[in-house]
Amino acid sequence: MPRTPGRSDVPGGQPLTNWAGNIAFRAARVHRPATVDDLREIVASSHRVRALGSGHSFNTLADTTGDLVSVAGLPATVEVDADARTVTVGAGLRFAAFTGAVHAAGLALHNLGSLPHISVAGACATGTHG
């Protein structure tokens, strides 16, 4: 029986699911830190922790019986260094939120998924979507 997430954005205490609703996560707690310090505290105090992206995955790769951490609430930073040809972004950003700034600087991502609503953290956690 799946446990209802502790701290989450899920209304009515319903189990947290992927965007399609066909995967229910079993996490004991779901966190959405607003600062990097909050994130550090959650990670340091968790026995098992997994990053949660935008919930677009169709498998349980991001699931855990420990703590899920959504980084969507972290500051939405975008730092483009055109000279170094690098871009540093907040993990919770979705691709659509920063690709315009990258393009405006005359740069592009080598491999970009076709879904603009995928988060950087989710793409890194699952190795998908660019």
Centre a 10 Å sphere on the Cβ of residue 86 and count the other Cβ atoms it contains.
10
Domain ranges in the chain are 11-70, 78-126
Give the pLDDT of residue 2. 34
pLDDT computed for residue 71 by the predictor = 87
Q: Is residue 81 within a helix (H) or strand (E), and if so which, with residue range?
A: strand 78-81
Cβ atoms < 10 Å from Cβ of 20: 10
Question: Could you tell me the fold of the domain covering 11-70?
Answer: 3.30.43
Q: What is the pLDDT of residues 64-84, one digit of tens each?
A: 899 999 888 999 999 999 999
Helices (H), the chain: 36-45, 99-104, 120-126
**What pLDDT score was predicted for residue 129?**
58
pLDDT of residue 1: 31
- Summarize pLDDT for 41-60 with one digit per residue, the tens: 999 999 999 988 888 878 88
Query: 83, 62, 79, 82: which is closest to 71 by C-alpha?
Result: 62
